[in-house]
Amino acid sequence: MAVILSFAMLIFAAEPVAATSISDLERQKQELERQKKDADARKRQEQQKYDNAAGVADSIQENVDEVAGEIDEIDAALVETIASVEIIEEEIEEKEEQIEETTREYEEALATEQEQYEDMKLRIKFMYEKGDATYLEILLASQSFADMMNKVEYVEKLYEYDRNLLEEYEAARMTVEALKEKLEEERAELEAQEHELMEEKESLEIILTEKKAVYEDYEAQLTRARQEAAVYKANIRKQNEEIKRLAAQAQEKQSQIDEAKRLEEEARKAQELALQRQAEEEARQSSGGGSSESLSGSSSGSGSSQSYASASSYSGSGSKGQQIANYACQFIGNPYVPGGTSLTQGADCSGFVWRVYKDFGYSLPRTSYSMRSSGTGVSYSEAQPGDIMCYAGHVGIYIGGGQIVHASTQRTGIKITHATYKEILSVRRIV
């Protein structure tokens, strides 16, 4: 009997120590869970920052690609302009050579005309300087009337010959002069074109310099955005490691609690056995005794509500594209958040389209620029609900009736707009 009582006393003495140990372990575990919850919250914050930074980086990348394309176009135009200037300079040089050659021909024609004119004047002067006397001499010197007529006719033919020859030289001179004037006009036109092309070249060089400055600025912004995203990503990795560490410690505490409870249960059973043996001994001595025990428990529960219908709930409501359009419209009024992909907490234009399609099991590129090459291209006249409308730096989901639902701006959020509110670059069909 003394042995049993001693054993029971030892058990009762040990029980408070075990209970205190379990309580401490429970508090330690709760503290670890609280720290893990805080780490999860910090991770979500860092994830949101990372998503925003990644979205900004994607947007800047689109700007970089767009400016790079413009620089390539300007480079090509500048090369073409420089080539045109060189061609015109060669043509001007060729025209000057032609003008020099024509000028020499003109001067030669002018000299020949003048020489013929002087010779004709001498002959006319010789023939007519004596007036009628010359004709009288011709008549008197004639052997017959026929001889006289032949001489008169000869003088007239000689005069006619000189006059025709002079007219031919004059016509040749005028032709060469007209050609010279034409060549000079053509040279003037080429020089004007050269001047205009040089102005265009200077303008293109200025624009190219400006575009390169914009490109370098975007590159700097992109570098900063990527660095910022890298910091957030490193923080997320750090938070993940912290969460894993805290989860492992909490699991270890739970194992310690389970072990302590097991030891406590064994101690309790040993205590009950000791008390039972004590009661049996006392019953034998006093012929009476009893015992009783009671059990208690508690439970708790929690509930939650959802304000939006899931994508799967739209199955059977028309075509798949119509289901996507209907599902997307229930988020009208929610905010626009740069880089966001949440249909309720906020998304940008490509994040909104990406998430809607993701909820239906489709994988799309994350940026509006990349979405231009997704799926199959169709014309706007063939557009159906669910098709993606692609604009310069923007995307939306066509819902029919010439309208789209899209994450518009930070001021207006997710809303419905006419599909043709600005130029449509392409229409992409995914389903």
CA distances from 92 to 97, 128, 185, 190 (A): 9, 52, 11, 6
Q: Which residues of 109-143 are buried (b: 16+ CB within 10 A; e: fewer)?
A: bbeebeebeeebeeeeeeeeeeeeeebeebeeeee
Task: Please say if 418 is a catalytic residue.
Answer: no
Residue 176: φ, ψ to 5°? -65, -40
Q: What is the CA angle 411-415-416, rounded to 5? A: 135
Task: Please say if 195 is a catalytic residue.
Answer: no
From 63, 74, 69, select the one nearest 206 (Cα to Cα).
74
Task: Please say if 329 is a catalytic residue.
Answer: no
From 331, 334, 336, select the one nearest 59 (Cα to Cα).
336
Which of helix, strand or coil describes residue 365?
A: coil
Catalytic residue selected from 195, 329, 390, 394: 394
From 271, 234, 219, 215, select the one nearest 10 (Cα to Cα).
271
Residue 90: φ, ψ to 5°? -65, -40
Q: Which residues contact 1 (CB under 8 A, 6 or more apart)?
A: 278, 281
Cα gap 5→12, rounded to integer Å: 10
Which residues does residue 341 pair with via DSSP β-bridges, in sequence order?
347
Catalytic residue selected from 195, 329, 349, 418: 349
Residue 365: φ, ψ to 5°? -60, 160
Which residues does residue 416 pair with via DSSP β-bridges, in sequence order?
405
Cα gap 303→310, rounded to integer Å: 18
Cα gap 425→419, rounded to integer Å: 11
Residue 397: φ, ψ to 5°? -110, 125
User: Residue 106's CB: how many other CB atoms inside 10 A?
Assistant: 20
Are 57 and 225 in contact by the 8 Å Cβ rule? The answer is: yes
Active site members:
349, 394, 406
